[in-house]
Amino acid sequence: MSQNENQSPVIVWFRQDLRLTDNPALSHAVAAAQSGAGVIFLYIFDEVSEGVRAMGAAQKWWLNHSLTSLRTDIEALGGKLVLRSGPAAEIIDGLMAETSASLICWNRRYGEGEQNADRKIKAKYGDTAKSFSGLLMHEPSQLRTGGGLPYKVYTPFWKKFSSGPAPRAPLPRIDAANCFSGDLPSEDLPSWQLLPSNPDWAGEISANWQPGEAGAAIQLAKFTQENINSYGTSRDLPGPDRTSRLSPHLRFGEVSPYQLWHASYPSSGANLDKSNQDSRETWRKELVWREFSYHLLQEWPHLDSQNFNPKFDPFPWQGQQDVLRAWQKGQTGYPIVDAGMRQLWRTGWMHNRVRMIVGSFLVKHLLIDWREGEKWFWDTLVDGDPAANPAQWQWVAGTGADAAPYFRIFNPILQAQKFDPDGAYIHKYVPELAQLPAKYLSAPWDAPRHELARAGVRLGETYPHPIVDHQQARTRALDALQSLNTAAETV
């Protein structure tokens, strides 16, 4: 090793992997920097590179706190988290020149703009830039159909995934490192203005979440100790909410999919019955759905803006702003829909079952373009994911890969009865119906007048009339889709 190399630092560039455990890029950097000038820990806030999708407001809130947590963990190692903002490729150029670094490491990411930036850097620095697999368990290029093509259907994807090599074991947490001691300028986190002010809407989000690797570990332990064995059935109930609630942690890489995959298996010696094992597999399948979404994004980079199935391009979406606004604010008059939209607005997250209900409602009952829903979720969800969010919206809309068939229109009344039978969820998020007995919560307009009066509910005043009639809206949606099929035939 030359004198120069020996005194050169190694940069580890954090992106969607804000963790010290099972972080291959970090592990490699730490090993490579053992005898040199040490590791530089870097995060770049980049909203300007072409094709990079700027984070929504709720994600920015999360990012602020996750970076704060990461910074604390890095300082415990004796290091410093360097914050820079601007176009990533230029920032890297600057820092490489500034520090004469001998190596830069990162874990791969999969958006088009993000990959273009990474490719540019790799092309320039060659072997001095090293990328690793940390965000996904299998690279998209490695999981293909027999014909070498990307999968478009989930079940064969799952079969291939689960019959292939098991995801590698997670790497140990980095608890010591030779950290770069030079003085590098770093921007102030508050200067990025990631947190809301005027008004500060994040109060209830803060109360619900603990961003950062430590918070993710707590959440994972809670889930694997309490709820994973019943996940198969209990995941559908938004009231008790026994889902893992790990999605925002996973989105920011505070925990890796490898860690979750391996955590889903019972400790050796544990003897689980069939339903418990099935529950664990159901949860693993959700992890693989995320993986599937990223593979789709890799192949179809405009997943958030273009119909995966172009047959839907001429679909007659309606664009009424007041209707969209009513949906966004949870004022549709359908309590299960409104509860979901208000949970999202207040807490930055929505239970998965309810996401399907509100998504189906926007697209099919209101005939509003799924892209409007996708954008709203992107802005308001703390787990807004560049792959999963558009993929799930396209799935719900019927435009996507392996999508729900057009005749599958969720009935918001039935769904409320089935999945919120005691009304716990609706009571929590639609307080103006708090006094109404559970049996009337799925369709308050059908409640006896004296029950409404006793509960202090005046429809049209304290709580809205339903914005559309379910049966009429259902027929209208089926007709619209029918017209699409007819149009396709006559072309």
Partner DNA sequence: TTTTGAGTTGTTCGA
Partner DNA sequence: GTCGAACAACTCAAA
Residues lying near DNA in the complex (CB under 7 A) are found at: 145-147, 149, 151-157, 159-160, 236, 285-286, 289, 352-353, 356, 392, 395, 402, 404-411, 414-415, 418, 470-471, 474, 482, 485, 489
Q: Which is nearer to DNA, 24 or 359 (CB)?
A: 359
Compute the distance between CA of residue 350 and CA of residue 373 in angstroms, rounded to an integer.
Answer: 13
Q: Which is nearer to DNA, 277 or 411 (CB)?
A: 411
**Closest CB 394 distance from DNA, rounded Å:** 10
190 Cα distance to chain centroid: 24
Amino acid at 335: P
**Closest CB 308 distance from DNA, rounded Å:** 9
Q: Which is nearer to DNA, 214 or 480 (CB)?
A: 480
**Which token pair is 199?**
């008004």
Beta strand pairing call for 81-85 and 39-45: parallel
**Closest CB 150 distance from DNA, rounded Å:** 7
Q: Which is nearer to DNA, 29 or 246 (CB)?
A: 246
Closest CA to 137 of 259, 25, 243: 259
**Closest CB 295 distance from DNA, rounded Å:** 10
Could you identify the residue written with the tokens 């829903």?
373
Q: Which is nearer to DNA, 13 or 393 (CB)?
A: 393
Q: Which helix (H) or strand (E) holds 14?
A: strand 10-14
Cβ pair 441, 338 in contact under 8 A: no
Among all residues, which ones are annotated catalytic? Answer: 286, 289, 317, 352, 370, 393
Compute the distance between CA of residue 237 and CA of residue 242 in angstroms, rounded to an integer.
Answer: 7
Q: Which is nearer to DNA, 14 or 395 (CB)?
A: 395
The string of DSSP codes covering 444-476 is GGGS-HHHHHHTT--BTTTBPPPSS-HHHHHHH
299 Cα distance to chain centroid: 19
HSE-up of 403 (CA within 13 Å, CB side)?
Answer: 23
Q: Which is nearer to DNA, 82 or 296 (CB)?
A: 296
**Closest CB 477 distance from DNA, rounded Å:** 11
**Closest CB 211 distance from DNA, rounded Å:** 24
Q: Which helix (H) or strand (E) holds 132?
A: strand 129-132
Amino acid at 353: R
Count other Cβ atoms within 10 Å, centred on residue 94. 12
Q: How many residues does the chain have?
A: 491
DSSP at 255:
S
**Closest CB 98 distance from DNA, rounded Å:** 45
Closest CA to 233 of 278, 170, 300: 278
